[in-house]
Amino acid sequence: METWEYRTLQIEATGFMGGIVDLQTFQGELNALGKEGWELVSCFDTNMNQGQTRYVIAIFKRKRLY
């Protein structure tokens, strides 16, 4: 039976009102995890008051290696 392991990446959105993500850093993190065999399965943002983005959360999975 296949088993999976999961990993979560949290990127902070900056700026006076939030919502600004450093895309170069984010893509660098995504590519680094991809090289380790992690597959992105979901990505979403979390909100502060009035709907501004606080964090971007990315969830990855890969087959568990025994």
Task: Output the pLDDT for position 7.
Answer: 97
Query: Alpha-carbon distance 47 to 28, whole Å?
Result: 23
What is the pLDDT, as a whole number, of residue 4? 96
Number of domains in the chain: 1
Write down the pLDDT at residue 56: 93
Mean pLDDT by 10 residues, the chain (66 residues): 94 83 94 97 89 91 88
Which domain covers residue 15, as residue numbers? 4-63
- Beta bridge pairs of residue 4: 63
Q: Closest Cα partner for 16 from 45, 43, 48, 56?
A: 48
pLDDT of residue 52: 83
Q: What is the pLDDT of residue 29?
A: 96
